[in-house]
Amino acid sequence: MIFHSSEWLAMPDAERGESAPMFRRVFEVPFSAKSAKLLICGLGYNEVFINGRRVGDGLLDPAQTDYNARAFYLEHDVAGFLRKGANAIGVMLGDGWFNQNRVWKTWYEGKGMSYGCPRFIARMEIVSDEGKKMYLDSDLKWKCSIGPITENNVYAGERYDARLEKPGWDTAGYDDSKWILPVEATEPCARFEMQEIAPMKRIGEIVPKSVVEVKPGVWVADMSQNFSGWLRIRVSGPAGAEIKLRFAETIFPDGMIDTASTGVFATLVEQIDTYICRGSGEEVWEPRFTYHGFRYVEITGWPGKLTANDITGIIVHTALERAGSFESSDERLNILHRMALWTHRSNVHGIPEDCPVRERCGWLGDANVVCEFSIWNFKSADFWGKYLDDIETTRQSNGGIPFNIAPGKRTSSTAKHDWMAAFILIPWYIYVYHGRREVLERHYDGMEQVIERFEEKMDGWILAGGFGDWFEPGERANPTQTHESLTTTIWFYRCAQVMSKVSGILVKRDEERKFGEWARKIREAFIRKFFNSETRSFGSQTSNAMALHFGLVPDGEHANVLSALVKDLRETRKMHYHVGIFGLRFLFEVLARNGHAELAVELLHQDTYPSFGDLIGRGATTLWEYWGEPEVDKAHGPRSLSHPMMGGYDNWFYNSLAGIRPDEDNPGFEHFFMEPNPVPSVKWARAEYESPCGRIVSEWKYEGKILTWTVEIPKGTEATAKIPFSGGGGILKSGKYLFVDGELIRS
């Protein structure tokens, strides 16, 4: 047992109210600690203090899970916090996702998504130089009290009354005679697991671009960037002065904030933090147990004149290390890359979220199109592995999976088939990019269950029942240009392909043959059903792009389908892409790999609706959930302005423009492909990727009419290269290379 005789502790509900409870325990250590290890599971969120010092730098710990199935604990090295003699430990608990009882009440029997009141369990092992051990457990010898956080909710924000602070509460000499005893709480989870993904942290700070008093006493700060996190304030005010911070993604023409895009029509709450001054000189404060998605902040109740020096934006999200980078001479491409990165980072808080405002859910379809560009840019395999484990905890006996993961009380009905495909494809992405065979082994049974469900539901190897190319331009999220059964059948085909490959890797020969045969039958049925022999096309931009990408074009028709796609882009749509999240994922790659990289760049320079350029012109710094149609605003309420599902194009910078592409048959970049697509209108482009085998670099540059290509191949690997301007290629072993107009100059 991880926690042995420790007990789950909570504060009595009658005394706690809505506050974030505080717990403390004084204990004697009769020796100098050589080592000390603290294990703690505090739900929903917890922060730990020993002898007046905060333990660790993680925020909003632990990451959310289905608490009925499992809960994460954290392990802290606390030897440096202890002293010989009297010591004190303090624990503060936030509601987090465990006691999210404010939002979605109508969906969940009036209880929001609550699993119960905040609670924790802990055990500390302390070892002396001589090897003597002592233990400190969470038990009824602890004491508890309410504190300055009088309300907290991940959606609605935090209320902090500094007059209720308890200085020294986490030190041995503090007088806790007015504190009360905790109660033993029920164990909420079936099992404990150590949190192995990176914690959430303060990633950076943002200084306001402007602070304007739009009305007497109403200040609005423009942080210049849409991001996730919160605001730190520095204030001097009288005791009891109440400062309110309201967060929004956009503003009205008169400068007042507009909170509609944060989902108030659905959540019925606004993102609001409130600070009540204690009245003792300068006070510095930031919240602990909430986070917001925002660019603008309305501040009221500020004593005196508010300046930009008084407030700081704190960027908070899962601390993923960078893996890749891209830059070019083309500022539009750089902006689009930055927008994808900002949007993704704003939506990693223990799970891959759809948005950091309205829902904050891990929708499967979004995850499918986000995962690869996440892996290109960040060392995120563990993060996605945790998401797969979340999916495992929600698998249904009928082979289905819920629409969105975070799981448990945050879940939903059974997903549509194209969304469910994520559970087959994300393990494959992790395997291809990181070589983690164990991920395939761990999830094979569930992956097989999903594709067998597809086979049961299909009709003549055509699979319907999907969301489709979500949020193509138009009045509705549901696609009108591409039938959902077309894209759903493509995902069925790809899943059968992947399952055949995975079965072969795991030496399941019967399944390898079976799923390979399924893929053959799906391809035949797809072409028979959807290919128009008169127009020699599949119809929409997304249809043609996905068919080309996945090899679903009839023999001899590749050039015709490509021609139809290019004609639709250039002539029918007048240089506009008319696609949703699936089309965005594949369109630009297909163009670049088929001799139309220049067209892809031209499309990304489009500035009129529908286009990213149109959104940039309207002030977007992140990717919106939709293409900005006023009709959508009127019909469905304004959509989120930070939605990573729209970022699938970002793969193109790495695997097409720079040309670094993994080899599915040699995972983890032990062998890979280098096939750049230089574009004369882009003077230079450079991509780096820190693969499991080491750094890969591809950089091309036009110097007049001369094209240079610089390549770096990691030690112990090799790449099959298609060399620009040479018309040929070959194997590049580990090392650095310089090509000039296709000729090798230096290696």
Quote the CA–CA distance of 463 and 418 in Å, as a whole number: 9
Reference 178, options 195, 164, 157, 199; nearest CA is: 164
Q: Write down the pLDDT at residue 586.
A: 99
325, with CB counted inside 10 A (0-12, 13-18, 19+), is middle
> Which run of H or of E encompasses 389?
helix 381-392
CATH of residue 62's domain is 2.60.120.260
Q: Write down the pLDDT at residue 285.
A: 99
Q: Write down the pLDDT at residue 399.
A: 78
Q: Is the pLDDT of residue 110 over 90?
A: no
Average pLDDT of the residues in 82-88 = 98
Q: Across-strand partners of 153?
A: 157
Average pLDDT of the residues in 177-204 = 96
Distances (CA, A) of 311 to 206, 306, 439, 623, 726: 9, 9, 44, 26, 56
* Domain contains 157: no
The domain total for the chain is 4
* Domain contains 280: yes
Residue 336 corresponds to which amino acid? L
Cα distance from N-terminal residue to C-terminal residue, the chain: 57
* Domain contains 499: yes
pLDDT per residue as tens digits for the range 417-465 = 999 999 999 999 999 999 999 999 999 999 999 999 999 999 999 999 9
Quote the CA–CA distance of 392 and 390 in Å, as a whole number: 5
* Domain contains 306: yes
Phi, psi of 557 (to 5 degrees): -110, 5
Q: Is the pLDDT of residue 664 over 60?
A: yes
User: Where in the sequence is the domain holding 297, given as residue range(s)?
Assistant: 202-318
Distances (CA, A) of 407 to 113, 426, 443: 11, 17, 17
Q: Is the pLDDT of residue 108 over 60?
A: no
Distances (CA, A) of 610 to 193, 238, 556, 604, 712: 46, 51, 33, 11, 38
Residues 224 and 122 in one domain: no
pLDDT per residue as tens digits for the range 573-611 = 999 999 999 999 999 999 999 999 999 999 999 999 999
Q: Write down the pLDDT at residue 111.
A: 64
3-state secondary structure of 700: strand
Rg (CA), the chain: 28
| DSSP codes of every residue in 243-282 | EEEEEESEE-TTS-EE-GGGTHHHH----EEEEE---SSE
pLDDT per residue as tens digits for the range 117-176 = 999 999 999 999 999 999 999 999 999 999 999 999 999 999 999 999 999 999 999 999
Average pLDDT of the residues in 333-357 = 98
Reference 502, options 491, 516, 489; nearest CA is: 516
CATH of residue 590's domain is 1.50.10.10
Instruction: Output the six-digit token pair for 424.
Output: 């087959």
What band does 566 get if pLDDT is binned at 50, 70 and 90? very high
Residues 483 and 533 in one domain: yes
Residues 570 and 696 in one domain: no
Residues 223 and 336 in one domain: no
Residues 589 and 712 in one domain: no
Contact of 592 with 677, CB cutoff 8 Å: yes
CA 43 from centre of chain? 21
Residues 312 and 181 in one domain: no
Among 593, 628, 657, the domain-final residue is 657
106 Cβ neighbours under 8 A, 6+ residues apart? none
Residue 106 corresponds to which amino acid? T
Among 318, 344, 372, the domain-final residue is 318
3-state secondary structure string across 156-184 = CEEEEEHHHCCCCCCCCCCCCCCCECCEE
Quote the CA–CA distance of 380 and 350 in Å, as a whole number: 11
* Domain contains 672: yes
The label of the residue with tokens 């043609």 reads 544
Q: Is the pLDDT of residue 194 over 90?
A: yes
Instruction: Output the six-digit token pair for 494.
Output: 């790809």
Residues 682 and 644 in one domain: no
CA 390 from centre of chain? 14
Q: Is the pLDDT of residue 109 over 80?
A: no
Contact of 479 with 472, CB cutoff 8 Å: yes
* Domain contains 84: yes
Q: Write down the pLDDT at residue 107.
A: 58
In degrees, rounded to 5, the angle at the alpha carbon of residue 307 between the alpha carbons of residues 302 and 312 is: 90
Residues 131 and 219 in one domain: no
* % pLDDT > 90, the chain: 92
Among 624, 657, 690, the domain-final residue is 657
Total residue length of the chain: 747
Residues 328 and 231 in one domain: no
Q: Write down the pLDDT at residue 633.
A: 58
Phi-psi group of 98: left, alpha or beta (phi > 0 → left; psi -120 to 50 → alpha; rest → beta)? alpha
Residues 604 and 475 in one domain: yes
Residues 314 and 328 in one domain: no
Quote the CA–CA distance of 389 and 237 in Å, as a whole number: 48
pLDDT per residue as tens digits for the range 203-225 = 999 999 999 999 999 999 999 99
Average pLDDT of the chain? 96
Instruction: Output the six-digit token pair for 326.
Output: 């891209």
Average pLDDT of the residues in 279-296 = 98
* Domain contains 662: no
Q: Write down the pLDDT at residue 689.
A: 99
> Which run of H or of E encompasses 349?
none
Residues 465 and 406 in one domain: yes
* Domain contains 4: no
pLDDT per residue as tens digits for the range 238-266 = 999 999 999 999 999 999 999 999 999 88
Q: Residue 715: how many CA atoms within 13 Å on its side-chain side?
A: 0
Quote the CA–CA distance of 26 and 175 in Å, as a whole number: 11
Distances (CA, A) of 519 to 92, 138, 490, 509: 54, 55, 10, 15
Residue 658 corresponds to which amino acid? A
Quote the CA–CA distance of 333 and 323 in Å, as a whole number: 19
Q: Is the pLDDT of residue 630 over 70?
A: no
Buried b (16+ CB within 10 A) or exposed e, 231-255: bbbebebeeebebbbbbbbbbeeee
